[in-house]
A and B are shown apart, each in its own frame.
Chain A
């Protein structure tokens, strides 16, 4: 079976962009029996692995993988005449003959298509990559294929980062930019196929750090993610990432604000001393100017969130996002002068009471949910209000 699978990969290579488990075997006389191969009108190739053969295929592949690993270790040891432990990977791939390399590549590929959490198989591939037996670029394509079936595989994302780090070091700026844009697109695809996918979002946060200094890319990313959160209003992981992008944008534009937002934008409230220290430390004038400008921009995000909340006031994720926005707005307001902060919170309370209140329609579950969320939010606001009053110092 493994040989047939290899033949399919040799024949179609990068055109193969999707695989799945299917309930039926192909005809016994078909070219790729028992696999099902379909070519779409767009000339991309889809591979179907029948349910029945999965256990056998996995056993064959993982046995082959362990065998190949042992062969490679013993061969390298005899070539180098050293007494290194036979369970680790050889240091030099040049010691290996091409047959073993091929076997490692084919068996680890088959194993990972069925079980993307197999550590040994990813390690085999890391070894092949460092030995330059597999091109980094091709490995990205293989990973994209694996994500189609296993969108929530932490190991696969770790491996992708391993590959990217090696690629990005050598990339000229222009190529680096397209590569990162492609990466963001992959994250979107994966996030769409599995809601609240932690690995995909933390990969994306890592990517965001790589582009943080590039204003255009951060702006594009902000637009993309805004559209995404509108499409998935109940997925808090999207909102959380949106918050990271908003903060990254402020930091890039007004570096002087970085310190005010230290602590990863969490809602852990700063105490009076910390705020006072910040205000006296920084060049107060610069900070006030930057904060005023930033606050004006922040209001745009506040308005967007208010419009959404007015319509979907039974959505908890939207209220959490609003807390984040209001907390940071009040921090910015403090930096411009404490009076501004008090005013901002008073306005917010009035707004919440009038606009986010449930419309009067009997006692439906969603109306009950709305008034519960609203009263939670209002009590959070009043505690924030008391808390910021201490910031006067």
Chain B
């Protein structure tokens, strides 16, 4: 079980504004890291924008799972983990991070600022803390009763983005991804895996 990222957004209209983020890419190859980080944010935003306020989503993509909780008040939290990570813990981590964030900054402050002006080191601590299975289990003992029936499960990102759109097109059109990340995405797709033997 591995936590890769906690990313928090605030909704303004149809768009999401990044307000806080923590990522852990130590497991990835040196040359992949920056692209992986870009893609984590790109996929998170794609999923977050398509999650209706007041609902929860869990989206599997290859070996990773994106857990998304959009609150009624427009704050949206995403946790990226591997498929072994307990979903009850993942959603509790989102709830906790959003609670701490909104306790620290008022809505008015957030409206006027960007992520850079809203330092939130607590989120890094949280990311490290819940890598630890003992901490995750402790959270689970308190939080055991999360109602799983309300979580919408998706097997791929494609099934979230809906009809008429393809993830390849979204990647191509995106302004958030660098040119080299787009090439990386193409190569990885061609080889059908992110950690492949090309031959």
Binding site for B on A (CB under 8 A): 18, 20-24, 36, 38, 40, 46, 48, 51, 54, 58, 114-116, 148-150, 192-194, 230-235, 308, 311-312, 359, 361-364, 366-367
Contacts and interface: CB of A to CB of B under 8 A. Distances in A.
A233 B184 contact: no
Interface string B132-152: 011001001100110111000
Interface string B172-199: 0000000010011011000000010111
Closest 6 CB pairs of A and B: A23-B183, A230-B133, A364-B148, A46-B30, A20-B29, A20-B31
Interface string B109-147: 000000000000000000000000110010011001101
Nearest to A54: B198
B72 interface: no
A149 B191 CA distance: 14
28 contacts: A18-B30, A20-B29, A20-B31, A22-B31, A23-B183, A24-B180, A46-B31, A51-B187, A114-B197, A150-B197, A192-B27, A193-B27, A230-B134, A231-B2, A232-B1, A233-B1, A235-B84, A311-B137, A311-B140, A311-B141, A359-B144, A361-B148, A362-B147, A362-B148, A362-B149, A363-B149, A364-B149, A366-B148
B151 to A, nearest CB: 9
A117 to B, nearest CB: 9
Nearest to B186: A23
Contacts, number: 74
Contacts of A235: 84
Contacts of A194: 195
Contacts of B137: 308, 311
Contacts of A234: 83-84
A19 to B, nearest CB: 9
Interface of B: 1-2, 27, 29-32, 83-84, 86, 133-134, 137, 140-141, 144-145, 147-149, 180, 183-184, 186-187, 195, 197-199
A48 B31 contact: yes
Contact of A361 (B83, B140, B145, B195): B145
A18 B27 CA distance: 13
A210 to B, nearest CB: 29
**Residue among A48, A192, A311 with the most chain B CB within 10 A?**
A311
Contact of A38 (B30, B32, B133): B30
Given A23-B187, A24-B183, A233 B133 contact: yes
B32 to A, nearest CB: 7
A308 B144 CA distance: 13
B29 A18 contact: yes
B147 A361 contact: yes
Given A233-B133, A359-B145, A366-B148, A20 B30 contact: yes
Contacts of A312: 86
Contacts of B30: 18, 20, 38, 40, 46
Given A24-B180, A231-B1, A233-B1, A51 B27 contact: no
A contact patch SS: mixed
A362 B2 CA distance: 28
A194 B27 CA distance: 11
A233 B197 contact: no
A233 B140 CA distance: 15
A283 B100 CA distance: 64
Nearest to A38: B30
B104 to A, nearest CB: 31
Nearest to B134: A230
Contacts of B27: 192-193
B171 to A, nearest CB: 14
A242 to B, nearest CB: 14
B13 to A, nearest CB: 34
B195 A193 contact: yes
A149 B186 CA distance: 19
Contacts of B145: 359, 361
A264 to B, nearest CB: 27
**Most chain B C-beta atoms within 10 Å of own C-beta, residue among A23, A24, A116, A367:** A23
B1 A23 contact: no
Q: Which of B86, B140, B198 has the most CB of A within 10 A?
A: B198
Contacts of A149: 197
A230 B183 CA distance: 37
Contact of B32 (A20, A116, A150): A20
B199 A54 contact: yes
Nearest to A24: B180
A258 B137 CA distance: 36
A232 B149 CA distance: 25
B195 A21 contact: no
B56 to A, nearest CB: 13
Given A359-B145, A362-B149, A58 B29 contact: no
Contacts of B187: 21, 23, 51
Contacts of B197: 114-116, 149-150
A362 B148 CA distance: 9
Given A18-B30, A359-B144, A359-B145, A231 B133 contact: yes
A193 to B, nearest CB: 7
A253 B18 CA distance: 57
Contacts of B144: 311, 359
A192 B184 CA distance: 23
> Which of A38, A232, A363 has most B Cβ within 10 Å?
A232
